[in-house]
């Protein structure tokens, strides 16, 4: 399920740009700043420096397991 995977990039403040959290459904190999951060908040020459500051993590979850656990807990 495409809703069960995402790449989350946490980018701290950079120059006059505030920090921001970006989420996008991409494959694990594409989980990096260049594929997730859209629109890029900095101009071309600053992209590399901006992306080096961002921390990107690939996350997976099982929504079926979460739903089953809710049913068990509510029963």
Per-residue pLDDT tens digits for 21-48: 999 999 999 999 999 999 999 999 999 9
Q: Residue 11 sits in which domain range? A: 5-74
User: Is the predicted pLDDT of residue 49 greater than 90, yes or no?
Assistant: yes
The number of CA neighbours under 13 Å toward the Cβ of 53 is: 16
**Overall number of domains in the chain:** 1
Strand intervals (E) in 1-75: 5-11, 20-24, 55-60
pTM of the model: 0.75
Count CB-CB contacts under 10 A for residue 43: 8
Average pLDDT of the chain?
90
Burial (CB count <10 Å: 0-12, 13-18, 19+), residue 41: middle
User: Is the predicted pLDDT of residue 66 greater than 80, yes or no?
Assistant: no
């Amino acid at each position: 399920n495409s809703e069960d995977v995402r790449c989350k990039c946490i980018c701290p403040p950079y120059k006059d740009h505030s920090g921001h959290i970006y989420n996008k459904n991409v494959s694990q190999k594409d989980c990096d700043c260049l594929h997730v951060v859209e629109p890029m908040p900095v101009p071309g020459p600053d992209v590399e420096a901006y992306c080096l500051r961002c921390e990107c993590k690939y996350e997976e979850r099982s929504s079926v397991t979460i739903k089953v656990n809710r049913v068990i807990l509510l029963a």
